């Protein structure tokens, strides 16, 4: 596993500057190769190219355990990126220190310990979501980038109304 000189926060900022996402841009920032995922992983025939990768270590002890990049077949699709995290625990207070305008956009429904509470902020380039799994609710489990112009938004991410 390669070790990036960037922290999680620097990685998020750098990835946001890469929109629209491409395989090469994400690989360069995360210093991790991506592979084409098997379309049979998806319940419906995907209208996007699905790429996966990881792990990638960050300077602050955070590990990007899994990279999920989806790029739509439409010409101007900006892509959708999720980073599943492990390693050092990042709490909600740390997230709020960097992104104070967070709204709750998803809550667990009692079906699995892997369900999440998600907090989303709207930025000029799109939506950035931070999720905390029920399994370990005090530690950040994933970060999702949903750039403006994303069509359609992946079904598992219903940004809902911010509160």
**Interval 8-67: pLDDT, tens:** 999 999 999 999 999 999 999 999 999 998 766 766 556 788 899 999 999 999 999 999
Kindly report the pTM of this predicted structure: 0.88
- What does the pLDDT read at residue 74? 82
Look at residue 114 in the predicted model and tell me its pLDDT. Answer: 81
Query: Is residue 26 within a helix (H) or strand (E), and if so which, with residue range?
Result: helix 23-30
Tens of pLDDT, residue by residue over 71-115, are: 988 888 899 999 999 999 999 999 999 999 999 999 988 788 889
**pLDDT given at position 163:** 33
Contact 13, 98 (CB under 8 A): no
104-157 pLDDT tens trace:
999 988 788 889 999 999 999 999 999 999 999 999 999 999 999 876 555 544
Please tell me the predicted confidence (pLDDT) of residue 161. Answer: 34
How confident is the model at residue 46, as a pLDDT?
A: 63
- The residue length of the chain stands at 163
| Beta-sheet strands, E only, within 24-125 | 34-36, 48-53, 56-57, 62-72, 80-87, 103-106, 116-123
Closest C-alpha to 37, from 63, 70, 15, 64 = 70
> What is the residue whose two structure tokens read 């892509």?
79
Q: Which of 24, 29, 27 is nearest to 10 (CA)?
A: 29
β-pairing, 56-57 with 62-72?
A: antiparallel
Burial group, residue 26, by CB count within 10 angstroms (0-12, 13-18, 19+): buried
């Amino acid at each position: 596993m390669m070790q990036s000189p960037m922290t999680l926060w620097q990685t998020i900022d750098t990835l946001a500057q890469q929109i629209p996402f491409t395989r090469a841009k994400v690989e360069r920032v995360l210093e991790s190769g991506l592979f084409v995922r098997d379309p049979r992983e998806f319940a419906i025939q995907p209208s996007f190219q699905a790429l996966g990768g990881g792990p990638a270590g960050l300077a602050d002890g955070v590990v990007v355990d899994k990279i999920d990049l989806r790029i739509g077949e439409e010409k101007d699709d900006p892509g959708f990126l999720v980073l599943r995290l492990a390693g050092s625990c990042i709490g909600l207070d740390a997230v709020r220190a960097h992104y104070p305008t967070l709204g709750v956009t998803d809550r667990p429904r009692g079906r699995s310990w892997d369900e999440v509470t998600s907090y989303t902020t709207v930025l000029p380039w799109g939506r950035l979501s931070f999720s905390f799994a029920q399994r370990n609710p005090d530690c950040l489990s994933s970060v999702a980038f949903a750039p403006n112009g994303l069509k359609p938004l992946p079904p598992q991410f219903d940004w809902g109304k911010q509160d």
